[in-house]
Amino acid sequence: MTIRELLPSDWPAVRDIYAQGIATGQATLETSPPEWAVWDQSHVANLRYVAVSDHGEVAGWAALTPVSGRCVYTGVAEVSIYIAKAFRGQKIGDLLLKHLIIESEGKGYWTLQAGIFPENPASIRLHENNGFRIIGYREKIGKMKGAWRDVNLLERRSKIIGIN
């Protein structure tokens, strides 16, 4: 497995993987993936990665979204990480998240956040195993198919950026 920057040409595979995550009902409140231009504008340009198999298949992706446009929060971002159905359970999420953490710290990010449904224990474990902790939850933050959903809020503070 190789981790490299996500390129615009990866979008069809990334979009399909995103759609697979949406279909589980446990990954996001979104109901469909956006078009490339919308996704491109909302994610940090130099912190997007894909995991590519030895056969050239995009197995998963990870990216950051700024949590605010205010300059005081330039070092805080939300993590998105999605793994293709055929590659789940193979530690690809762990590889991508570790890579994203290292690269984000190298670019000055001091806090990474994640919003994860309580019904998605695998994603919670993945994040906790990489230094995230649950700091609370957002009760009934959005509806999915008519049902209100809670979202756990997880956070990872860098041990090397923003500590003085």
pLDDT of residue 164: 61
Residue range 127-153: mean pLDDT, rounded: 95
Neighbours of 160 (CB within 10 A): 8
pLDDT of residue 99: 98
Query: What is the C-alpha to C-alpha distance for residues 139 and 137, in angstroms, rounded to an integer?
Result: 6
Q: Helix or strand or coil: residue 154? A: strand
Residue 144 has phi, psi (to 5 degrees) of: -135, 115
What pTM value is reported for the model? 0.94
Residue 49 confidence (pLDDT) above 90: yes
Residue 45 confidence (pLDDT) above 80: yes
pLDDT of residue 73: 81
pLDDT digits (tens, 9 = 90+) for 75-125: 999 999 999 999 999 999 999 999 999 999 999 999 999 999 999 999 999
Residue 163 confidence (pLDDT) above 80: no
Report all structural domains of the chain as residue ranges with CATH numbers, in order of start: 2-113 (3.40.630.30)
Residue range 59-74: mean pLDDT, rounded: 91
Residue 68 confidence (pLDDT) above 70: yes
Residue range 25-38: mean pLDDT, rounded: 92
Residue 70 confidence (pLDDT) above 90: no
